[in-house]
Structure 1
Amino acid sequence: MRKPSSELTTILSENIKHLRTSRGFSQEDLANECGLHRTYVGAVERGERNVSLSSLELLAAALNVDVPTLLSKHK
């Protein structure tokens, strides 16, 4: 199975962590909002998981952004 580039994985993990903390969410809070497991959210933030499109949609909705925002490099 092909994995996403390390650059894309890093962008995603940094964006999720930044958005989560800026909203005052713990990993557990975000996981509960998404219906995902806390350890999964942690693994995504560490760049250890290959995230499915459905999980991206859940994470984006919980963070009140669109999917492209999670995948875009921000300054």
Structure 2
Amino acid sequence: MTKTMDRRRLLRGAGLGAGGLALAAWMPAWAQSVSPGLAPDLPTVSGEDIRLRIARQRMAIDGRQYRAIGVNGT
């Protein structure tokens, strides 16, 4: 099955893609794939015995302090 790409379909696809990229900046920090608020290199967990420390903590997101639940301090 062969589909032809006309100019209208090309412009619509380019517009939707550009709109999606423009709206990505408005997403909250936790929803972005690369966030400056998160540690860039998280340690890798391996082995049979894995211990997690889950605790309440304060976290700064977009310059505001929030209460959060952290795992191993992150």
> Same fold, TM exceeding 0.5?
no
* TM-score, normalising length: structure 1: 0.28
Q: Which structure has the highest strand share of the two?
A: 2
Q: Which structure has the highest helix share of the two?
A: 1
Rg (Cα) greater in structure: 2
Which structure has more relative contact order (CA 8 Å, sep 6+)? It is 1
